[in-house]
C-alpha cells in the first residue's frame, strides 16, 4: 500500500527501539492472517531480547491486503480471519513458558511473555479479548461507530487471566492539534484528502493542505469523511482539551493511541507537543 512508511513492522520497531531509551514500542498492529505465528514469535522475541520490557505486540484479524498480496505473504496456505483465535492461541503458546513435549520452539521468543493486545474495529475481537483476558485496542481512529458497543461488550464479558485481572482498553484517536483552531482547520484538509482518496480507491499518498475542500468532494463524500473522523481531536489547545476530556469521561479509556497524518513533520511534532502539554 502506498502512503505508508513500511509494512515491515518489526524492522521499524527495531530501528525506533535502537534510537530511544524509555518509550514502549508496539505493533498496532500485525495482521496475523498474513503471517505464520512462529515467524511473528521469533521476530518479536528477538525485539524483546534486545530491548527487554519495551515491546508490545498488537494483533489484528483483518488481512489488510488484497487476495494477491495475502497469497504472496502466505503462499503455502491462505490465512483466514476465521483462523485468528487459533493463531492467537498458537502465538501465546510460542511466547509463553516451554511446555513438556513441546516440539516447536520460538528462538528467541519462548518464555518472553511479550504483552499481546487484540485490535479490532468491530465486535469480534472485543469478545475474543474478553474471553482470553487480554488488553483490547479499538480502531476508533477510523471506525468510531461501534466504539461504545465494543468497549461495553469487552468489559461486560471480561474474564481475569494471568495477564490482566481487570479490563484494559486503548482507543485510537485522530489528532489534528495546532496553536489555533484556524490553523488546525487548515491542516486537517490533508487528512480529509487522504480519507477521500481511500473512499475513492485512489493513492493514499499524503497531500499538502488546501485553503478549502469546496469542489474537491461531493456532499455524500464529505459525510463519509466526517463519519470516519467522528472522534478526531481537531483544534487549538483549549478545543482539543475540551474534546479530549469528554472522550475520556465517556469511555474511561486506559490509554490512547494517536494518529497524526499532517503533511509537515514540524506540524506533527507540534500536535504531539500540544497534547503532551495537556497531560501536565
Cell 461504545, located at residue:
148
State the Cα–Cα distance between residues 11 and 89, nearest whole angstrom.
Answer: 24
pLDDT, tens only, 229-241: 999 999 999 999 9
Task: Give the C-alpha separation, 40 to 57, whole Å.
Answer: 9
- Which among 131, 156, 172 is the end of a domain? 172
Contact (CB, 8 A) for 177 and 233 = yes
Q: What is the pLDDT of residues 153-175, one digit of tens each?
A: 999 999 999 999 999 999 999 99
In a domain, 80, yes or no: yes
Residue 4 lies in a domain: no
Answer yes or no: is 1 within a domain.
Answer: no
DSSP-H helix ranges across the chain: 9-18, 37-50, 67-73, 84-95, 124-132, 147-157, 181-200, 219-228, 237-251, 265-279
Residue 212 belongs to domain spanning: 175-251+261-279
Give the pLDDT score at 248. 96
Residues 46 and 164 in one domain: yes
Residue 121 lies in a domain: yes
CA distance 193 to 181: 19
Whether the per-residue pLDDT at 267 is higher than 80: the answer is yes
Question: Is the per-residue pLDDT at 64 higher than 80?
Answer: no
pLDDT score at 280:
73
Same domain, yes or no, for 182 and 154?
no
Q: Which residue has the cell 535502537?
A: 18
What is the widest separation between alpha-carbon atoms in the chain? 66
Assigned domain for 3 exists: no
Q: pLDDT of 5-20, one tens digit each? A: 888 999 999 999 999 9
Give residue 54's pLDDT: 97
Give me 114's grid cell. 511479550
Does residue 105 lie within any of the structural domains?
yes
Provide the percentage of residues in the chain whose pLDDT is more than 70: 95
Amino acid at each position: 500500500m502506498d502512503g505508508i512508511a513500511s509494512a515491515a513492522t518489526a524492522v521499524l520497531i527495531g530501528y525506533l527501539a535502537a534510537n530511544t531509551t524509555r518509550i514502549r514500542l508496539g505493533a498496532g498492529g500485525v495482521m496475523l492472517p498474513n503471517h505464520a505465528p512462529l515467524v511473528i514469535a521469533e521476530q518479536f522475541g528477538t525485539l524483546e531480547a534486545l530491548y527487554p520490557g519495551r515491546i508490545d505486540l498488537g494483533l489484528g484479524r483483518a488481512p489488510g491486503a488484497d487476495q494477491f498480496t495475502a497469497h504472496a505473504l502466505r503462499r503455502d496456505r491462505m490465512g483466514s480471519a476465521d483462523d485468528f483465535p487459533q493463531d492467537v492461541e498458537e502465538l501465546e503458546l510460542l511466547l509463553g513458558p516451554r511446555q513438556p513435549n513441546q516440539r516447536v520452539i520460538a528462538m528467541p521468543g519462548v518464555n518472553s511473555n511479550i504483552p499481546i493486545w487484540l485490535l479490532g474495529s468491530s465486535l469480534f475481537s472485543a469478545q475474543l479479548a474478553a474471553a482470553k483476558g487480554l488488553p483490547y485496542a479499538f480502531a476508533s481512529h477510523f471506525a468510531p461507530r461501534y466504539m461504545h458497543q465494543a468497549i461495553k461488550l469487552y468489559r461486560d464479558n471480561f474474564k481475569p487471566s494471568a495477564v490482566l485481572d481487570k479490563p484494559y482498553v486503548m482507543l485510537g484517536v485522530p489528532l489534528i492539534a495546532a496553536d489555533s483552531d484556524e490553523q488546525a482547520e487548515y491542516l486537517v484538509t490533508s487528512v480529509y484528502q487522504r480519507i477521500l482518496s481511500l473512499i475513492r480507491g485512489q493513492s493514499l499518498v499524503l497531500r499538502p493542505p488546501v485553503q478549502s475542500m469546496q469542489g474537491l468532494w461531493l456532499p455524500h463524500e464529505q459525510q463519509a469523511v466526517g463519519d470516519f473522523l467522528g472522534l478526531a481531536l481537531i483544534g487549538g489547545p483549549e478545543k482539543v482539551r475540551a474534546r479530549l476530556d469528554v472522550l475520556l469521561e465517556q469511555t474511561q479509556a486506559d490509554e490512547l493511541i494517536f494518529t497524526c497524518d499532517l503533511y509537515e513533520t514540524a506540524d506533527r511534532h507540534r500536535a504531539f507537543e500540544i497534547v503532551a502539554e495537556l497531560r501536565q
